[in-house]
Structures are given as structure tokens and as C-alpha cells.
Structure 1
Amino acid sequence: MLSHNLDHRLDRLLSGLLSHIHRLGISPNFLTITSVVVAIPATIFFGLGQGLWGGLMLLVSGLFDILDGALARTQGKVTRFGGFLDSVIDRYVDLGILAGISYYYGSSGQKTLLLWTLMAMSGTALIPYVRARAELIIPRCSIGIAERPERIIMLAAGGIFNLLPYAIFVLALITHVTTLQRIIFTRKQEKEDRSQKSEEA
């Protein structure tokens, strides 16, 4: 939900920084790659149980992810490959962070939290998969209460404020709710499209 409302507002807010980045010759794809590089220490920190540093590094990674799309839009460099690369990198970051958290809970014997983290991981993986499959049969399927910005903020805040178990629990629930929302939305849209085609025939 946040991504739809904030993209163009952020473009305006970050216009000065984006112009400076452009003058340095930095490309959107470079920022995309940087986001996953920064996420590596975030994953390690989470794996070591250092939620504060993990959360802070995750926010930095998220900032680079925001900047890559904003730079591409403001400089007219939006490409299909750039969107594809950004999506792949996002999956590496999302699942890497949750893998680090899973490692920490597993190695410290916290089996219940490990289970919830694995549930959050499966829900996180399903959200973009369901969208990709849905958009083979309907024009767009980007609805849901747990899009990527919400998930990143939740994990980062959970780590920074020492509330990670609560963040994981909520994330495990809302990712699967979002998946269900997209399934229901796709079914409804596909049914409406079929009805409209029948009427036109």
C-alpha cells in the first residue's frame, strides 16, 4: 500500500539527491546491486542476534532500493530489465534477512519462533509469486496489506526496538493474508472479464 502512495512524493522530496547521484554517473542498476550488498551485513547481524544493527542496515538497504526506482523514473531510465533485476534483488534481500533470523532462532533453540519465521518466509515468497502468476491472466494484481515497504519497515523496526518476535508473528500472518487477498482479487477480476466478454459476444 505504501509504495503506491509514496513513489512520486519521494521522487519530489529526493530530487536534489537524485540529481547529485545522476551527476556522479551512478546508474539505477548500480543502486539496485548496492541494496543487496548492504543487506549482507544486515543478514549476518540478524543471524548473530544483533537486531539493532541488523535493523539499521536493513533500512539502509531499503533506502538504496527506493533510490534506484526514483532515479530511474526521474531520469527516464525505466527499463524492463531494470524492473526485473530490482524484483530479483528484492527477493534475495527479503529471504536472506529471514534466513538470518531463522538461523538465530534455530541455533538458540527457539523452535516456536523458528517456525513463525519460516511461515513468514513462505508468505514473503508467495506474495510476488502470486502477483506474477495473476498478471498472466489479469492486467494488474498489486493489492494487499503487506507489500514490500511495509514488510521491510516492520522487520527493521522489530530489530531496532527489540521487538523482533512480535514483528515476525505479525509478518507471518499478514503475508499469508496478502496472498489470500490476491487470490480472491484475481478470481473476481477474471470472473468479471469473462462475464464482460460473454456480454460483448
Structure 2
Amino acid sequence: MTLSSFRNIAERMMQPLVAGAVRVGVTPNAISFVALVMAAGAGVSFGLASEQQLLYLLGAALVITNGILDLLDGGLARELGVESDAGDMFDHVFDRYADIFVIAGLATSIAEYALGFAAITGVLMTSYLGTQAEAVGLDRVYGGLLGRADRLALVTIVAIAAAFIEQKLYGLPIVGWLLVVFAVVGHLTALQRFYYAMRALR
């Protein structure tokens, strides 16, 4: 994958929502905050899914909402001409907390905390290397093996499946294997971004 290559298409599809947000008068930061609340709600829903499996569906819906709002805040900022470094910082900090909430919830749902830690660090390092490239004068890196759009898509698909599938494969449920992917592929993506950034800096 990487769904990040379709980012421009997704942003064009968001134009009706952007226009609606302009009419309502909502601000990009307000949308970012609501997106974070959706992610926190997804994390709680996933965490409680060990008791009620169908809560994975609610978590999946909240993850989708978070992803839509994440696109909307950037599109609205551009439409209003209020893009700024402060707004970019605000958005990225909230995105990282959103990642933490969602992955922590998934790990809690199957009581695999060490695996959850490995997944969270993989995701955070992926995101860090993407923005660190920009900090040293390169273009911000969105590509790699597993970007944020890919993660949101995978979480949504796996959460929907987990609502109905209880079987384990080699001792792990489907959510556990998703965390394995985030841990392994996340760190590989971070290393991939590091490699390309270092090569560009030479």
C-alpha cells in the first residue's frame, strides 16, 4: 500500500464538506479537536470490546470519522487562507495522540500490552521521520510502506472483522496480527524514510 499517493484525490472529494464548514463558520483547530475526541472514543470502544465484541464496529466508525475530519481540517485551513506553522503543529500533535489512543485501545482489547507498545513506537517513529525530514530542509515525507492513511484503513477493516471473528491464528487474534504489522512495518517504514532522507542530505 500506500494510500498517501491518493491524498490529492481525497482532498478534492472533501471540497463539499470544506464548503459546508466555511458556511457554518467552524475553525480548522476546532475540527482537529473533534477529530481527537473521535480517536479517543475509538480507543475506549476498542478497549471495551473485550467485554462486548460488537464495540469494534463503533470503534471502526469513529476511526473513519477521525480520518475524514483529519482531511477536513487541512482543506478548511487552505480554503480560509489560515495555514500556519502553529496550525500544522497543532494538527500533528493531535494526530499522534489519536494514533496512541487507537493503538492502545486495540492492545487493551486483547490484553497484549507489550505488542501494543511495539506497535505504538513503530507508528510514532514513522510519523517522526516524516516530519523530521522537513525539519532538516527536505520535503515532508508521507510515503513508505505504511503511512497514516494506510493505518486508518487497516484499523477500520480489521476492527470490522474482529467484531465477528474470534478465532486465533498461531495464538493471536486478528487484532494482534494487526499490531504485529504496525510494529514490524512501522519500524521498517521509519527506517525507509530515514534512509531516503539521509541519502538526500548527502
TM range, smaller chain: 0.7 to 0.9
Give the number of aligned pairs.
Answer: 184
Show the counterpart of 2:3: 2
TM-score, scaled relative to structure 1 = 0.83
State the 1:141 CA deviation.
Answer: 4.6
Cα RMSD of the aligned pairs, angstroms, is: 1.8
Distance 1:59 1:139, change over 3 A: same
- Point out where structure 2 has 5 or more consecutive residues left out of the alignment: 50-54, 163-173
Please state if 1:157 is matched with 2:157. yes
Once the two structures are superposed, residues 27-56 of structure 1 have per-residue CA deviations (whole angstroms, 9 ceiling, x without a partner) of 111111110111222111111123221111
**Paired residues for 1:117-128 under 5 Å:** 117-128=116-127
3-state DSSP of counterpart to 1:146 = coil
Structure 2 counterparts to residues 38-57 of structure 1, below 5 A: 38-49=38-49, 50-57=55-62
Q: Deviations over 1:121-173 (max 9, x none)?
A: 11011112223433343412513121111111111211112142332222222
Matches within 5 A, 1:63-82: 63-82=68-87
Q: 5+ unaligned residues in a row in structure 1: which ranges?
A: 107-112, 192-201
* Cα gap change, 1:17 to 1:130, in 2 (>3 Å): closer
Alpha-carbon distance in structure 2 between the residues aligned to 1:75 and 1:51: 36
Rg comparison, structure with higher value: 1
Identity %: 27
Quick one: structure 1 residues 174 and 77, their matched pair in 2 at CA, closer, same or farther if it must change by over 3 Å?
Answer: same
Letter in 1 for 2:6: N
Contact 2:57 2:159 in 1 (8 A): yes
* One-letter amino acid matched to 1:126: M
For 1:44 and 1:75, locate their aligned partners in 2 and report how far apart those are by CA, in whole Å.
33
Give the deviation of 1:64 after TM superposition.
0.9
